Structure 1
C-alpha cells in the first residue's frame, strides 16, 4: 500500500472509530510477519534460561492469542470493568514491550514506522478506555495447560514416550523421562492446544512476503521458501493425529462410549475396564506415528525429505 494511501486509511479509521484495533487495519496481513517476529522475541525473553524451541513457539502463540483476544474483548466492551483493571494494565504493558521490541530493529524504514504507528494507536485506545460498572470476563490463557490424564493425547503420548523412559516400567513423570523425551512431551502438549488453521495462516503469510520480496536471486528465493516449508512441516502431525483419533472413535463409539471427545473423554477408564482394547490402540498409534522397532516415531522423515528433494530439483533446473 502506498504511504499516502495508508495515511489516508489510518486517518479515516481514526475519524470513524474511537477504538483503533491494528488487527483490523487494512494492511494487517503485511504487518503480521514483523509483529510475529517481535512476539517471538518477547516469548524468548520471557524465559530466564535457554529452553527448547517448541516451548518458545508455544509461548509466542499464547502471547499472540492473548493480544488479539483481549484487545477485541475491550474493543467490544467499549471500556473496562473494575475486576479487569489489572488485566488491562498488563495488556497495555504487553503492547509497550511489543513496541520496544519492534523499535530495536537495526533498520527502521517506512514500513516499520507504519507498524509502530498502528500498534501504538491500539495501545492509546486501550489507555483511553472508560470505566464501566459491574464486572466482566477475564481472559483465560492456555499456556500452562498440560495433557489431561487418561484422555486421547495422554494415551498417545504415553506410548510415544516409552523409548525415552529411564525406567521402562516406570510412569511418564519428569524424573523418569530423559531430555529427548521431555521435548517430545512438550511437543505433544503444543499439538494438543495448537490452532492448526492459524498455524497454516502463519505459514501462508510468510510465504506471501517471500514471494513479494524484491531483489532475490533464484537460489535465495528457493532457499527462503524451503526454510519456510521446513519450519512448518510439522503440520503433518495434524493429519496423523486426526487419523489416529478417528480410528480410536471407530473402535469405541458406540459400543463402549456414546461419544468421544478428543480433549476430555477419559479413554484410560475404558482401557482398564476392557484391557483387550489396549493392543488395538497401540497398533493404531504405532502405524500412524510410524514407530520403528525401538518405538521411536518417524512421522517427519518423509515430509522433510520431500521438501528437500523438491527444492534441490528447483535449484538444479530453474536457477
Structure 2
C-alpha cells in the first residue's frame, strides 16, 4: 500500500510572463490543454513518477512504481477534466477534490526542487500546474452528489487463460513443492517477484510504456552542458530500464502461436484474457508448453532468457559510444 507524505508548506516559484503567455483560453486553466503541453509532458510525467516512487515507505519493485505512476497520471487527468466540466464540486466530492489538489501540490514540490532558470519548459510547467491547482481550489461547492473517480478495479488473471498458462510454465524453477500450483505460498521469494512482474505485463499498456521511455529520453537529450560520458550513461540507463518492452513482442508471438493451434481443432474463439485453455488435454498441454519454451528461450533448468539479448545489445551499443565518442 502506498502512503503519501505531503508537505503543505507554501510553494514558491519563478513564474515569468513568458510562462503566462502559454495559458489556455478556457476559463478553467487545465494543464493538459495548454498549447505547450507536448513540451511539458515529459517533465510532468517524470514528476508524477517521482511522486509515485517517494510514496512507498519501503523499497519496492520498479514495476510497482510504474503501475502507481501510470495510475496517478490517469487519475490526475481524468479528475481534472471532470471538475473542469462540472465547474463545481458536489458535496460528496470535497474529499476527492482536496486529494487532487494535494496531488498537484506534490507535483509542484517535485518540479520546483532544483529549477533551472534557463529551462523555460519547466517555468511553463510550474505555472500551468499551479494555475490548475488554483482553479480547483476556487471551484464553488454545489449541493447534491456527483460522480466519484472509480479507477478500474485491480484485474486478476483468470485461471487457465493464456497468461495464467504461460506464467505457470515459466514459474516452474521457482516452485517450492512438486504440485506446481501457482500460489504465492508455493513460490520462492524470487519466484514471487518474477510472477508479479510477468503478471503486470498482462495488463500493461505497451504504447503508453514506450511513450514514457521516449519522454525520459527527451529530457536527457534536452539537458544542457552534459558531458558526453554522462549523456551516454544516462541514455543507457533509460534503455536498460525499459528493456523489458521485449516481452511485448514475445507475448504477442506466443499468443498468435497459441491461437493457431487452439482454433484449428479445440476452440472456436480464443480471447487472451477470458478464454480457458483445455489444459486437461495432455497432448495439447505439451504442445503449448513447447511453444512457451521456444518463444521465451527457456533453458534446460527451466529459466527464461527473453532479456539476455536486448540487454547485451544495449550494453554493447553504449560501450561503443563511450569508447569512441566520449
Sort the TM-score into its range (normalised by shorter chain): 0.7 to 0.9
Whether 2:296 is the aligned partner of 1:289: answer: yes
RMSD, aligned α-carbons: 2.6
Equivalent of 2:96, from 72, 87, 96?
Answer: 87
Deviation at 1:302, TM superposition (A): 0.3
Per the alignment, residue 314 of structure 1 pairs with 321
TM-score for both structures, normalised by structure 1 = 0.86
Q: Secondary structure, in 3 states, of the residue corresponding to 1:62? A: helix
CA distance 1:316–1:248, shift in 2 (3 Å): same
Deviates more, 1:91-100 or 1:105-114: 105-114
Give the number of the structure whose residues are more often helix, by fraction.
1
Per the alignment, residue 234 of structure 1 pairs with 244
Per the alignment, residue 190 of structure 1 pairs with 200
Per the alignment, residue 20 of structure 2 pairs with 7
- Structure 1: 4+ residue segments shifted above 6 A: none
Equivalent of 1:96, from 65, 82, 105?
Answer: 105
Deviation at 1:313, TM superposition (A): 1.6
Unaligned runs of 5+ in 2: 1-15
* Equivalent pairs, count: 310
Equivalent of 1:213, from 217, 223, 227?
Answer: 223
Deviates more, 1:114-123 or 1:80-89: 80-89
Deviation at 1:312, TM superposition (A): 1.5
Q: Distance in 1 between matches of 2:266 and 2:96?
A: 44
Q: Distance in 2 between matches of 1:142 and 1:266?
A: 23
Q: Secondary structure, in 3 states, of the residue corresponding to 1:214? A: coil
Q: Secondary structure, in 3 states, of the residue corresponding to 2:211? A: helix
CA distance 1:149–1:79, shift in 2 (3 Å): farther
Q: Secondary structure, in 3 states, of the residue corresponding to 1:9? A: coil
Q: Does the 8 Å contact 1:248/1:281 carry over to 2?
A: yes
TM-score for both structures, normalised by structure 2 = 0.84
Kindly provide the CA deviation profile for residues 182-219 of structure 1, in whole angstroms up to 9, marking residues without a partner as x.
Answer: 11122122212211111111111222222222212322
Kindly provide the CA deviation profile for residues 255-287 of structure 1, in whole angstroms up to 9, marking residues without a partner as x.
Answer: 3333222222233xx223x33211111111111
Equivalent of 1:31, from 15, 40, 57?
Answer: 40
Kindly provide the CA deviation profile for residues 98-137 of structure 1, in whole angstroms up to 9, marking residues without a partner as x.
Answer: 223334x244646444322211222223333455687654
Q: Distance in 2 between matches of 1:27 and 1:152?
A: 42
Deviates more, 1:238-247 or 1:69-78: 69-78
CA distance 1:234–1:135, shift in 2 (3 Å): same
Q: Distance in 2 between matches of 1:122 and 1:254?
A: 55
